[in-house]
Amino acid sequence: MSIHHLGRSTFGDVSNTGNLMPIEEAHQLLTDWVPNDRLRLHMKQVAAVMKAWAIEKENADDLTARKWELAGLLHDADWEKHPNEHCRIIIEELERRHIDPEVIHCIASHGPRYFGVEPKNTMDKMIYAFDELSGFIHAAALIRPNRYEGMDVKSVLKKLKTPSFAAQVNRDDVTDAIARIDTSLEEIIQFIIDHQKDVQ
């Protein structure tokens, strides 16, 4: 991913706190913006893992869980059609729709090295960790005869140490993301396997 610093660290309007689009509307936006089925699946997987983490690990209420899910679902919405303006276009769209600023900041911070926005809260830090690893784990599943069935953490770790496998996944970003949270790489990998395997 090339570097496209956003040049700002404040997003949205605090008066829109709690304002989220219905999840059906977010899925429609994906359908309209992202022709690539595989990329849409990636965003749906990140959304599912984010929502599950919010509920299971953060004891999130419904609104908070929906924030996590929405950020996961839309974090790469402009990547396919606007790779050179990645993040900028979806951020501007969500600001235009008066979406909760925490959701927008979360999307802006999912690649701090690329967008120049540091993850602030737990939601920001978790999307950074989940984004790279979700795609990596899915790539690992695709080359297995039984896909996710029987997949274990050890095999994923082994592939992470193989630079030629899913070479587009930056291992330094994975290391940096894990260093920012209080959860081991092994636990994050297992959580992703468990929660994205059935996402369609």
Q: What is the pLDDT of residues 111-139, one digit of tens each?
A: 999 999 999 999 999 999 999 999 999 99
pLDDT tens digits, residue range 142-152?
999 999 999 99
> For residue 5, what pLDDT is reported?
87
101 pLDDT higher than 90:
yes
User: How is residue 173 written in tokens?
Assistant: 């970003």
Alpha carbon distance 57, 142 (integer Å): 28
What is the arithmetic mean of pLDDT over 165-179? 95
Q: What would the mean pLDDT of 50-56 be, rounded to a whole number?
A: 98
- Class (C level, CATH) for 14-196: mainly alpha
Q: What are phi and psi of 65, to 5 degrees?
A: -60, -35
How far apart, in whole angstroms, are the C-alpha atoms of residue 77 and residue 46? Answer: 12
Amino acid identity, residue 165? F
- Give percent above pLDDT 90 in the chain: 93
